[in-house]
């Protein structure tokens, strides 16, 4: 179904590298931080989409995986000089080392995966809203644990003073990796099995798909990337608190996925883009003052209202999300406007390859 | 045609020049502010913002700073870390403010302060009370409120000296850093001065049944002389009512979280007899803040909601004093000037800002609840 031109991916990568280089050299720290948050939100949404959109496992536990990955990575890279009196409960050998960024991130992702296996084993037998509530429980448990394990996490005050390793290169490197892995995964034999399980468990089982195993693997991989995103978040904002991984994070994550489209990677990017970048343009208006000759009063809460309105409008017009379950490619956009007649003629040209 | 254009251009140039001269002389001083006016922290940060706006208005009405008005550039923190960090980045790099005030939570402060520190912009914490925030961030970090150690020390001294207590019972909320901190500092001071903590007990934020703790206190023999309740707003009233209804008449002492109208409303005036707490300022008449309370009433139609309004008001005045003292209006000069302010007379008490590592040396306000009203006992230092 989904075809990609051979040249498209290298060109897109080159454009991204050029854009990142330009951003790093030209933009001030404010824009860099917003772009960093955008990348992290894209990762979180794509990883949630793997579980919920492609796998039908509507997880409300992804903030918990991000928290586990984030805290693990932060504890590993934390400066040795500050470890002993800020987070003294860890074993001596751990207090003596500061792990480099990449292995710390990977270990954070693995910690999130382990949590996903432990939780997924019993919980993934549930479906629909039962699964949603059970995974929401995970978010609550992890958040309360972080608050109470003060000597491991600094509790409600938050683990501050995390080194600022996460620049745009790291973040967008992992964005590309996440999108690539999820894309290849869902367009493989495994991906077809996963979607079969989502659409009709019984039929999938009859066709020889190991339902429990398929769901658990997808859930674990999804948690891995959520964990990495959590690690990047900690090293971008330089602080992690339990409040960052609360109900609010659950709702924002789900909103980004549904807005973009469940079962669409490019849709996830658009969902994250709308929820991260758009508010930044509205914030100056919240303050009030004069704009284009008009005097405006302070309108606090305007960003929340506008994003909520966008969510409602999109749900009314396109309940399946902006991209639906399709990928937004140049060709999809073109065929949509020109009608189906083109689609058959495109197939005959030899310059593209089946991505599946 | 060209003549007309030339004339028009000349006229425009004169008009522009005419406008430019007073504009340059009165170019406003950009003061950044980060307060959450949406989300869970709006209850305490919104009054701080309103009072800060009031202070800016007053200063500008009196001619501003060195002939220049202050422009308060505020962004909503939305009670969310990422938004607070974004707001700090925006103030420092987009609006290029020369100083920042804001936030009433230590976690919020720790999330945004490194950004100001790296850019060399002084940033004054309005309400976060972890005592060593400046030490954790760097030389451009300053605190308006006293630290948690001060208020717990004053509470312990009050119990020992005024209430003649020799033994105390400690009840603390195990979920928040603030309650853990004041409980720890109270215990430290009380035991240092030969008081004895006979027993202690922990609960979780939002618990509605305190019967286990009440039974524990009642079963103590002899009864403790005071109860120190390190609790969050909301829980305090529930506990006080349940303890008093169970017949416990021992004095109860709390921290600044007790400073909310819901305490008396939910616990009942009768049950709040012999309840004391430490806070940032007394919002009662004749407490030294009458002018501020009246001005706030005139501006917003109601008295200040809580002491965070006073802290927001003082935050602006402290920055104004530093700007007046500074040799030039640059972030570095203002920052240096803050350290030279040793007798700041604010509505939240007199304070000394010379210590670069810790919260200011500042008076703590002691309040007694009498007939459902908050009565000022006095302003004290540990």
Are residues B86 and A34, on separate chains, in Cβ contact within 8 Å? Answer: yes
Are residues A30 and B38, on separate chains, in Cβ contact within 8 Å? Answer: no
| A134 in a structural domain | yes
Closest to B237 in 3D by CA, of B261, B212, B211:
B261
pLDDT confidence tier of residue A300, bands split at 50, 70 and 90: confident
Question: How far B86 CA sits from the closest chain A CA (Å)?
Answer: 7
Looking at residue A337, its pLDDT comes to 52
| A139 in a structural domain | yes
Rounded to the nearest angstrom, the gap between the alpha carbon of residue A131 and the centroid of all alpha carbons in its chain is: 19
Question: Which chain A positions have a beta carbon within 8 Å of B114's beta carbon?
Answer: 238
Mean model confidence pLDDT for chain A: 88
A79 touches chain B (CB under 8 A): no
Question: Which chain A positions have a beta carbon within 8 Å of B176's beta carbon?
Answer: 147, 155-156
Looking at residue A344, its pLDDT comes to 42
Question: Which chain B positions have a beta carbon within 8 Å of A148's beta carbon?
Answer: 174-175
Q: Which of A30, A156, A300 has its CB closest to that of B38?
A: A300
Mean pLDDT of A158-170: 91
Looking at residue B315, its pLDDT comes to 97
Tens of pLDDT, residue by residue over B18-43, are 444 444 457 899 999 999 998 888 88
Looking at residue B156, its pLDDT comes to 96
pLDDT confidence tier of residue B159, bands split at 50, 70 and 90: very high
Question: Which chain B positions have a beta carbon within 8 Å of A156's beta carbon?
Answer: 107, 175-177
CA distance B173 to B193: 24
Above 90 in pLDDT, residue A258?
A: yes
| A127 in a structural domain | yes
B70-76 and B361-362 beta bridge pairing: unpaired
Mean model confidence pLDDT for chain B: 90
Mean pLDDT of A301-321: 91
The residue in chain A having the minimum alpha-carbon distance to the alpha carbon of residue B33 is A287
Are residues B111 and A243, on separate chains, in Cβ contact within 8 Å? Answer: no
Q: Which of A150, A158, A244 has its CB closest to that of B110?
A: A158
Tens of pLDDT, residue by residue over B255-283, are 988 887 788 989 999 999 999 999 998 88
A305 touches chain B (CB under 8 A): no
Q: How many domains in chain A?
A: 1
Tens of pLDDT, residue by residue over A174-191, are 999 999 999 999 999 999
Q: Which DSSP string corresponds to A18-62?
A: HHHHHHHHHS-HHHHHHHHHHHHHHHHHHHHHIIIIIT----S-H
CA distance B291 to B317: 14
Packing angle of the helix pair A128-148, A62-77 (nearest 10 deg): 30
| A323 in a structural domain | no
| A299 in a structural domain | no
B206: left (phi over 0), alpha (psi -120 to 50) or beta: left
User: Which domains can be identified in chain B, with CATH numbers?
Assistant: 28-145+287-362 (3.40.50.2300), 149-279 (3.40.50.2300)
ipTM entry = 0.80
Report helix, strand or coil for B54: helix
Looking at residue A340, its pLDDT comes to 45
Report helix, strand or coil for A297: coil
Are residues A283 and B111, on separate chains, in Cβ contact within 8 Å? Answer: no
Evaluate whether B224 touches B168 at the Cβ level (below 8 Å).
Answer: yes
Chain B residues interacting with chain A (CB cutoff of 8 angstroms)? 37-38, 73-76, 78, 80-82, 85-86, 89-90, 92-94, 106-107, 110-111, 114-115, 119, 130, 136, 174-177, 180
Domain that holds residue A58: 11-247
Structure letter (DSSP) for residue B174 = T
End-to-end CA distance of chain A: 8
Looking at residue B205, its pLDDT comes to 77
| A233 in a structural domain | yes
Closest to B35 in 3D by CA, of B97, B91, B96, B119:
B91
A352-354 and B252-254 beta bridge pairing: unpaired
Looking at residue A350, its pLDDT comes to 40
Report helix, strand or coil for A72: helix
Tens of pLDDT, residue by residue over B287-308, are 778 899 999 999 999 999 888 9
Looking at residue B25, its pLDDT comes to 55
Above 80 in pLDDT, residue A285?
A: yes
| A142 in a structural domain | yes
Picking from A71-75, A286-290, B32-36, B115-119, which range would have the lowest pLDDT averaged per residue? A286-290
Tens of pLDDT, residue by residue over A47-97, are 999 999 999 999 999 999 999 999 999 999 999 888 887 888 899 999 998
Mean pLDDT of A100-118: 97
Above 70 in pLDDT, residue A352?
A: no
B167-173 and B226-230 beta bridge pairing: parallel
Q: Which DSSP string corresponds to A166-206?
A: --HHHHHHHHHHHHHHHHHHHTSHHHHHHHHHHH-HHHHHH
Above 90 in pLDDT, residue B92?
A: yes
Looking at residue A345, its pLDDT comes to 40
Above 80 in pLDDT, residue A336?
A: no
End-to-end CA distance of chain B: 80
CA distance B120 to B6: 47
The residue in chain A having the minimum alpha-carbon distance to the alpha carbon of residue B130 is A157
Question: How far A224 CA sits from the closest chain B CA (Å)?
Answer: 22
Tens of pLDDT, residue by residue over B190-241, are 999 999 999 999 998 778 899 999 999 999 989 999 999 999 888 899 999 9
Picking from A127-141, A284-298, B96-110, which range would have the lowest pLDDT averaged per residue? A284-298
| A295 in a structural domain | no
Give B103's contacts (C-beta < 8 A, 6+ positions apart).
B34, B35, B36, B45, B77, B84, B109, B112, B125, B126, B127, B128
The residue in chain A having the minimum alpha-carbon distance to the alpha carbon of residue B88 is A30
């Amino acid at each position: 179904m989904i075809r990609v031109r051979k040249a498209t991916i290298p060109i897109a990568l080159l454009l991204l590298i050029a854009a990142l280089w330009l951003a790093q050299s030209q933009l001030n720290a404010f824009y860099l931080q917003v772009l960093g948050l955008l990348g992290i939100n894209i990762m979180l949404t794509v990883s949630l989409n793997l579980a919920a959109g492609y796998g039908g496992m509507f997880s409300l536990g992804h903030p918990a995986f991000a928290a586990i990955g984030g805290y693990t990575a932060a504890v590993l890279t934390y400066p040795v000089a500050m470890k002993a009196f800020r987070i003294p409960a860890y074993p001596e050998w751990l207090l003596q080392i500061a792990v480099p960024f990449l292995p710390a991130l990977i270990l954070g992702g693995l910690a999130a995966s382990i949590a996903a296996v432990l939780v997924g084993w019993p919980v993934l037998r549930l479906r629909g809203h039962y699964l949603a509530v059970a995974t929401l429980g995970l978010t609550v448990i992890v958040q309360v644990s972080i608050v109470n394990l003060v000597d491991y996490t600094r509790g409600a005050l938050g683990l501050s003073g995390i080194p600022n390793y996460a620049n745009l290169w790291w973040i967008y490197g992992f964005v590309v990796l996440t999108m690539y892995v999820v894309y290849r995964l869902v367009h493989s034999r495994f991906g077809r099995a996963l979607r079969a399980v989502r659409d009709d468990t019984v039929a999938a089982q009859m066709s020889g798909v190991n339902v429990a195993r398929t769901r658990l693997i997808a859930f674990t991989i999804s948690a891995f990337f959520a964990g990495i995103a959590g690690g990047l978040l900690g090293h971008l904002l330089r602080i992690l608190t339990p409040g960052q991984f609360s109900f609010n994070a659950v709702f924002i994550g789900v909103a980004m996925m549904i807005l973009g489209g469940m079962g669409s990677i490019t849709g996830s990017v658009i969902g994250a883009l709308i929820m991260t970048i758009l508010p930044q343009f509205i914030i100056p208006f919240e303050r009030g003052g004069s704009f284009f000759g008009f005097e405006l009063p302070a309108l606090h809460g305007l960003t929340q209202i506008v994003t909520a309105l966008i969510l409602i409008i999109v749900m009314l017009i396109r309940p399946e999300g902006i991209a639906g379950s399709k990928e937004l490619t140049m060709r999809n956009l073109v065929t949509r406007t020109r009608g189906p007649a083109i689609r058959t003629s495109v197939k005959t040209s030899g310059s593209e390859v089946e991505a599946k | 045609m060209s003549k007309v254009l030339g004339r028009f251009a000349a006229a425009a140039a004169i008009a522009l020049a005419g406008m430019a001269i007073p504009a340059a002389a009165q170019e406003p001083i950009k003061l950044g502010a980060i307060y959450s006016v949406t989300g869970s922290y709006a209850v305490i940060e919104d009054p701080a913002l309103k009072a800060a706006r009031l202070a800016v208005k007053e200063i500008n009405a009196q001619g501003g700073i060195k002939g220049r008005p202050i422009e308060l550039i505020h962004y909503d923190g939305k009670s969310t870390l990422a938004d607070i960090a974004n707001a700090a980045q925006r103030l420092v790099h987009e609006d290029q403010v020369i100083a920042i005030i804001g936030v009433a939570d230590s976690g919020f402060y720790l999330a945004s302060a490194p950004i100001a520190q790296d850019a060399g912009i002084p940033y004054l914490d309005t309400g976060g009370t972890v005592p060593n925030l400046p030490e954790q961030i760097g030389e451009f970090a300053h605190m308006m409120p006293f630290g948690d150690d001060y208020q717990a020390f004053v509470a312990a001294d009050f119990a020992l000296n005024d209430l003649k207590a020799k033994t105390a019972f400690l009840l603390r909320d195990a979920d928040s850093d603030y309650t853990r901190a004041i409980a720890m500092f109270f215990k430290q001071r009380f035991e240092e001065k030969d008081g004895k903590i006979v027993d202690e007990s922990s609960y979780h934020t939002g618990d509605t049944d305190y019967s286990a703790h009440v039974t524990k206190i009642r079963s103590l023999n002899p009864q403790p002389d005071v109860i120190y309740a390190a609790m969050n707003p909301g829980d305090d009233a529930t506990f006080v009512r349940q303890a008093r209804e169970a017949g416990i008449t021992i004095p109860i002492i709390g921290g600044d979280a007790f400073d909310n109208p819901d305490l008396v409303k939910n616990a009942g005036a009768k049950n709040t007899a012999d309840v004391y707490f430490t806070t940032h300022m007394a919002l009662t008449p004749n407490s030294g803040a009458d002018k501020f309370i009246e001005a706030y009433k005139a501006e917003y139609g109601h008295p200040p909601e809580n002491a965070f309004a006073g802290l927001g008001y003082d935050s602006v005045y402290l920055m104004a004093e530093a700007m007046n003292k500074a040799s030039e209006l640059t972030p570095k000069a203002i920052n240096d000037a803050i350290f030279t302010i040793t007798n700041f007379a604010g509505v939240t008490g007199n304070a000394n800002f010379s210590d670069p590592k810790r919260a200011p040396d500042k008076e703590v306000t002691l309040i007694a609840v009498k007939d459902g009203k908050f009565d000022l006992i006095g302003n004290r230092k540990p």
